[in-house]
Structure 1
């Protein structure tokens, strides 16, 4: 069974050309499913039926997995069993009568302008790592980069003299994003001083480095951000994606049109971008209720 999983993942890369992070996501979800099968003493694919899948989804629910996570799991299983059917590894697809749960539409958490400013003031810019953290926060808030795009940003992607950066997003799609003067200012400071200190004489094409001169990881950004948020006294559940949400919401609140924000975020479907209109409407309602005497 594990060999079939490896063959499937190889197919995703070679034949379908899926991005590395997407394949890693499929691997993680299917590996968790395989672990569940072991607890059920299931050793062959043809032993899996509709009830096996339903029991696994119930197990996922008991593990407090989010609705959207379960939806992605169902999608991963559906595609995997379709592959097995096409390869004649199974005679019946157990996913045929499994409905995909409806997505939970939660409004994204966003930071106010003051909270963003409080966040930016935390890093100690007298130290190389502090300059790096301040620069990273400025860039992510100024451009709406995903955390994976931030860690993979390379020196060759910077066109600071033109006020632009280039990035490769989901589906390996390239997009060009404007970057503001403040973020350019901090990038210049970081590149000319702190980054050279972090490099320690090494060669590294990536913009953001750790204390050993290596590429900063997603986990490193999450860990550092949690500490910065705590020091800023912000009680919201802030993740790197919160900066992306805040970027989009700020643009819409200040008059940007939805299509422009879609392009800047790299959304394939504008319906994904439309959730931010609900956020801005919620904000307007809160302001009205707070300040209007007849509210």
Structure 2
């Protein structure tokens, strides 16, 4: 039976119907769905009834606390597919222009952590209170694992006990961002840290209430908001200054740092990066190598190596 949109229907009802149909087709829409529901609540709070207009879209886009144009543009981008859906049943619906608030996608330079900052992070995590509890052990191992492997924070906290193979020195990451699973080889030093954590975890929490590898004080899986809150407190304690386009250093910047350090090491070792980039892309769970290159940042150390290589190339070409 064909759907129909009635003028008296609320935007919330439209949004719920749309999300239900999209999810029935296999789309997750966890984040975009939450943003769309925020738009629907905004429209209904204004007792708005009728098709989406450009004025309504703009008012909602600017209702966020953020004053960044890219945030407004991404909000507009999120509701465009919903507007196209409604236009089938309500021809007066306006699909907001893609560039209504400017570009929705541009690369914001990440904060690339120095060796000293990584050491400070792990030391601060190990000093968390309560002393002697599972909490400092968990965060030291968690942040260390992300820094050493480039895992996404969601992938790290979703690890189960059985996903960590101490004997083989590997991790299994199941159903990641693009619904792909992958096997991640670990450096022996990382395997050793995870093995020690697992042993202490069993001794501190005699009977594990859940199967999650990383657990909090209550012995349960770590909520991502709790992890981000703990990281924020450590960040303020260390008084880091952001080097990049984001206002503050982020957990996700550890992933960017991992990519930069790995490619820098390959350059220093004289390894062909082009030949290795596919392996790195697979290791990170990217769909294609171009996604991995997106993580590259022109840090001084990397630029110095590249400049030296170019100088040798130019010198050789001049002698031909």
Q: What's the TM-score, normalizing by structure 2?
A: 0.76
Question: What's the offset of the Cα at 1:104?
Answer: 2.6
User: How many Å separate the matches in 1 of 2:223 and 2:202?
Assistant: 16
Report how many residues are paired. 277
Partner of 2:294: 275
Residues 252, 9 of structure 1: CA spacing in aligned structure 2 closer, same or farther, 3 A cutoff? same
Corresponding position: 1:181 with 2:188: yes
Partner of 1:292: none
Structure with the greater alpha carbon radius of gyration: 2
Counterpart pick for 2:280 among 261, 265, 271: 261
The 3-state SS of whatever aligns with 1:161 is coil
Where do 5+ consecutive residues of structure 1 fail to align? 290-295
Partner of 1:64: 67
Corresponding position: 1:7 with 2:17: yes
Question: What's the offset of the Cα at 1:135?
Answer: 0.9
For 1:217-236, list aligned pairs within 5 A. 217-236=223-242
**Cα deviation code 1:168-219 (max 9, x no counterpart):** 3212111222222222112111111235524x53431111111111110111
User: How many Å separate the matches in 2 of 1:36 and 1:24?
Assistant: 19
The 3-state SS of whatever aligns with 1:171 is coil
User: How many Å separate the matches in 1 of 2:231 and 2:92?
Assistant: 47
Where do 5+ consecutive residues of structure 2 fail to align? 1-9, 243-247, 267-272, 308-320
For 1:1-295, list aligned pairs within 5 A. 1=10, 2-15=12-25, 17-19=26-28, 23-38=29-44, 40-44=46-50, 46=51, 48-60=52-64, 63-65=66-68, 67=70, 69-86=71-88, 88=89, 90-95=90-95, 97-99=97-99, 101-102=102-103, 103-122=105-124, 123-124=126-127, 126-167=132-173, 168-198=175-205, 201-236=207-242, 237-255=248-266, 257-277=276-296, 279-285=297-303
Residues 74, 175 of structure 1: CA spacing in aligned structure 2 closer, same or farther, 3 A cutoff? farther
Residues 52, 144 of structure 1: CA spacing in aligned structure 2 closer, same or farther, 3 A cutoff? same
The structure in which a higher percent of residues are helix is 1
Q: What's the TM-score, normalizing by structure 1?
A: 0.82
